[in-house]
Amino acid sequence: MRVFIAFTFVIVLNTVAIGQGPVAGQNLESLSDPDAYRIYATLLPQLWATRSKDALLLQQETETVFPCDSSSRISDPEWLAVANRFRQENSRPKVLQAILQIPGQFRLIPKAVIEADDARLKLKYPGTFNRLPESIEYAAVSAVGFNSNKTKAMVHVRLRSGGDLHLLERRGDDWIHSTLSGGCAWIV
């Protein structure tokens, strides 16, 4: 009887944790910086178009863990400051608001929904897959690290099976990729 009760208790705890989002029981700060949303609006439509013609599904919580760190290859002091700010901004996940201004439709999707669907598909398709059949295609972004006058920025954008660390510079009202070598990419 004790084994059954303990087993049931674990299941209940896991269900609660999944239902509360990426960090169970933690209130997440809302991301409200309009400059960050301008950067997302610059990058996401182009990247999403390579994966899907459907409405963009954007993970509601920002990413905080990245497979590569390019700051070790950066020697420029201004960009090192951007990299440091990027790390600070991404010390905790933040919640995106539905204020992204991009062409076409987009929808915010909680990370817990993605994780629950992935868990369901792992049961349906046992074995090892890089990408499970029927997986939700989505994009996820980090918080943006800026320099003090917001002319340089670092941001990570991930689509389900790969991601890129982007180094951007402001030119007038536009954000363009920097010529500085230091970004990195990865795929699953």
pLDDT for 79-116, tens place per residue? 999 999 999 999 999 999 999 999 888 999 999 999 99
pLDDT score of 60: 97
Contact 145, 31 (CB under 8 A): no
**Contact assessment for residue 39 and residue 155, using Cβ atoms and an 8 Å cutoff:** yes
Q: Is residue 10 one of the residues assigned to a domain?
A: no
Beta bridge partner(s), residue 61: 95
Number of domains in the chain: 1
In a domain, residue 15? The reply is no
Residue 162 lies in a domain: yes
42 pLDDT more than 50:
yes
Q: What is the mean pLDDT of residues 167-185?
A: 84
Q: Report if residue 1 sits inside a domain.
A: no
pLDDT for residue 3: 36
Residue 18 placed within a domain: no
Residue 25 has pLDDT above 90, yes or no: no
**What pTM was computed for the model?**
0.80
Check residue 143 and give its pLDDT: 97
Do the domain assignments include residue 7?
Answer: no
Please report whether residue 133 resides in a domain: yes
Give the C-alpha separation, 145 to 162, whole Å: 20
> Which domain, by its residues, includes 137?
26-187
Does the pLDDT value for residue 52 go beyond 60? yes
Higher per-residue confidence, 18 vs 78? 78
Task: Specify if 11 maps to a domain.
Answer: no
List CB contacts of 144: < 8 A, sequence separation 6 or more.
33, 35, 36, 39, 86, 89, 153, 154, 155
- pLDDT reading at 77 higher than 70: yes
Q: Is the pLDDT assigned to residue 21 strictly greater than 70? A: no
Taking the C-alpha atoms of residue 72 and residue 136, their distance in angstroms, rounded to an integer, is 33
